[in-house]
A and B are shown apart, each in its own frame.
Chain A
Amino acid sequence: MHIRKILRHETILAVLTVIVLIVLSFQSDRFFTVDNLLNQGRLMTEVGLIAIMMTFVIATGGIDLSVGSIVGLTAILMGVFWKNLGMPLPAAMILAIISGTLAGFGNGVIITRFSVPPLIATLATLALYRGIAEGISQARSVRGYPDWFYVLGQGEFAGVPTQLWILLVVAVVSALVLGVTRIGRTVYAIGFNEVAARFSGLPVDRTKLAIYTASGFAAALAGVIFVSRVSTTRSDMGTGLELDAITAVVLGGTSIYGGRGTIAGTFIALVLIQGLKNGLSWPALREKEPSC
């Protein structure tokens, strides 16, 4: 009964998405081309990675507002490690991702150890992490990365953008973890009734800690991909990304109170949002440039 209810939301959303995509393809014959769709997948990856982990966070009844700031912090740290400290780029990438993951771990510690409500804890770290990124970068951007680095954000693998593969792997693994494993069940149990979950002997704090850490990791990964896609590092990267991700998760049927939600729903919602963003910008572009 419960499962059926969830499926219904996603089915409706999927049908809606298909309708929107069809309507949009009538708006412009350039919308439904392989090139455009793959390119849209490229643009969707960063918010997608974050939204998938955000699904876990919101399914436990929490929220993570700091992810956009972690994107910026990771990007800046990578640039600084590489350019200013002279590290080899692969090492800088890994260290930056570790730092971003630690930032997520920090959120988890504040939320579980000190029982600060997630909204406030991550509101504070949103300011803090962005602040550290701004303070370190002093509004200087880092550019001039070696060519191989752009493979991640601008290259292709087997005809599909590299980062889209990463997104797909993360999505499939996350869907399995949330859908069929004990961890996933625990996530729903926490979101449904945290006190009951605790009394049932479920590792509530450990699970939450892991989820916020994973959220930080996803944001850090998105940050590195972002830098590779736009070829530059700036401290304001990822501003507002948290709200885009939350929008996708909520539209995808995850209850903001926790206990309900699937990765599939989030993914469909991501496609719908990206399709609308892209499809609705075509007519606007036509208006501005008649020759186009």
Chain B
Amino acid sequence: MMVAEDNGSFGRRSATSRAGFFKKLYTEYGQEIVILGAIIVLLIVVGSYNPRFLSVRNLNTIFAGNAYIAVAAIGMSMVIITGHIDVSVGALIGVLATISGTIAVSGYPVWLAWLAPVVIGAAINMVVGILVAYARIPSIVVTLGMMSILRGGLISVTGGDWISGLPKSFMISQLKPFGVPAPIYFMVALTLLAAFWMRYSAFGRSLYAMGGNAEAARATGIPIERRTMIVFMIHGAFAGLATILFATQLQIIQSTVPPNLELTVITAAVIGGVSILGGTGTVIGSTFAAILFATIGSALIFTNVSAYWLRAVIGTLILVTVLVDVMRRRNKR
């Protein structure tokens, strides 16, 4: 199913040497620009309909409340770009949130409660990575199994109880340095960091090579197995970071996660221009896509359209994006 597609482009880098700056920008970041444009149009249109939509408070809610999805989508993008998938990330975030919350209320130092999800996330996904890379079990099968294990474990350990009475110092998402909620700093910094790493480091570039054509990548001397495992570990660490943002939003931690969180994260990556076939896409796109979802959700409320239509709108959006993408590829050939 995860067939590597050899389209010759290396992380969508096919710009010609003397083309204009904007043309180059568009050919390289077409999808990202389209999504950014959609966000801006949405902000202007809905903002002129209801000015309160553009209030600082609402914008903060839109961006900060969903930053954790964007952060999780960064790791997911890396996994998908290398030609794999992870359907267990929602369950993983649920488990990590419970672990983090338990540490926080047990009187351990707060930094431990922040560090634990990142380390444990990477460790759990190391197991997934080993099974995928060395045992060569398809990633969808491994992560389906991992999802069942994590979900089942979570329910049997917590018994469905919520964690409350979290210490104030734990609540990193509620901080507002310079009036901007902390999750936004995280989202921007992590996206830029990952984007630069994937574009300019040898390891980062090799993700595209592995997803584009694994055999060719192997022939050029890339240690595919080890790097696949490491990519899964990085993805686990990002899931841990997302967990911190998610778990410190509210005063309680539920022993469940938003249902279908994994699909929201995968969708953000795919809409952001990450081809499910591997080999192309950027994390800037996936972050924009996560912001776009949040903006649409908020826009529905401010235009008095029932928020229950949100998923239908997003579904239509995915379908249109995918069909446009398929058409564009067809024309290229």
Which A residues lie at the B interface, using CB under 8 A? 61-63, 65, 110, 114-121, 123-132, 134-135, 137-139, 235-236, 239-240, 243, 246-247, 250, 256-258, 284
Contacts and interface: CB of A to CB of B under 8 A. Distances in A.
B87 interface: yes
B193 interface: no
A19 to B, nearest CB: 20
A125 B315 contact: yes
A177 to B, nearest CB: 23
B79 to A, nearest CB: 14
Interface stretch (B40-48, B67-75, B263-271): B263-271
Provide the main secondary structure of the chain B interface.
helix
B54 interface: no
B25 interface: no
A237 to B, nearest CB: 12
Interface stretch (B115-123, B161-169, B319-327): B319-327
Contact of A135 (B85, B308, B319): B308
B306 A120 contact: no
Pick the most buried of B141, B311, B314, B322: most chain A CB atoms within 10 A of its CB: B311
Given A120-B276, A239-B259, A125 B319 contact: yes
Contacts of B319: 110, 121, 124-125, 128
A131 B311 contact: yes
Interface residues of B, number: 34
Contact of B312 (A63, A134, A246, A258): A134
Nearest to A66: B315
B308 A134 contact: yes
Nearest to B140: A256
Contacts of A110: 319, 323
A274 to B, nearest CB: 14
A250 B314 contact: no
Contacts of A284: 156
Contacts of B87: 243
Contacts of B315: 124-132
Given A61-B1, A243-B144, A256-B141, A127 B311 contact: yes
Nearest to B139: A256
B259 A240 contact: yes
A225 B67 CA distance: 39
Nearest to B87: A243
A125 B326 CA distance: 16
B266 A123 contact: yes
25 contacts: A63-B1, A110-B323, A117-B276, A119-B276, A121-B322, A123-B263, A123-B267, A124-B315, A125-B319, A127-B315, A128-B311, A131-B310, A131-B311, A131-B316, A134-B308, A134-B311, A135-B308, A135-B309, A135-B312, A243-B147, A247-B145, A250-B141, A256-B138, A256-B141, A257-B138
Nearest to B318: A124
B227 to A, nearest CB: 22
B258 to A, nearest CB: 11
B148 interface: yes
B92 to A, nearest CB: 14
Contact of B318 (A115, A123, A134, A139): A123
The CB with the most chain B CB atoms within 10 A, among A127, A137, A139, is that of: A127
Contacts of A240: 259-260
A257 B270 CA distance: 21
B270 to A, nearest CB: 6
Contacts of A121: 319, 322
Given A121-B322, A123-B263, A131 B156 contact: no
Contacts of B263: 65, 123, 126-127
A65 B313 CA distance: 18
